[in-house]
Structure 1
């Protein structure tokens, strides 16, 4: 009978330890879940910012190309003017 009582006490201690480990794991899982949510939110924000930067970069590239074309036209006009001026006696 004493052996059963001792064994029962051991099992109760093991159960208590197991329940405590389970509770600790739940707490750790909640922490990890919170960290994952924070990381996901940060990822979404970064993706949105990246999209904004990409759109801004495309706009700048179009503006630069338009400016470059305008400068090339000015240069072509200047060359034509110089050529016509150099052929006039």
Structure 2
């Protein structure tokens, strides 16, 4: 006995639905795989961001320390320059006094 048209159509429809279901399941697996890969990539990016933020904090701290050190060095340098200027001024005054004394006429009594 030959299957009727309705039975053949139903089997064909079932086969199409089975194929479509397999395609959808395959797409779902691929989608889940992509999602997992994206999660892994996101974790890697978060980790890189965390490392970068820690490095930034360390650099800011080091920069602050260097700035403080440079201010201290500038103050010390300025104090040294002022000291040298004072010494130079005193030496210049001594030279002027000595020149003035040597150019003064000698009096004989």
Matching of residues 38-77 of structure 1 within 5 Å: 38-77=51-90
TM-score by length of 2: 0.79
CA distance in 1 between partners of 2:17 and 2:39 (Å): 32
- Aligned with 1:79: secondary structure? helix
TM-align CA RMSD: 0.7
Unaligned 5+ runs, structure 2: 1-13, 105-109
Task: Kindly indicate which of the two structures has a greater share of residues assigned to helix.
Answer: 1
Aligned pairs, number: 89
Displaced runs of 4 or more, over 4 A: none
Partner of 2:8: none
How many Å apart are 1:86 and its aligned residue? Answer: 1.1
CA distance in 2 between partners of 1:78 and 1:39 (Å): 57
Larger Rg: 2
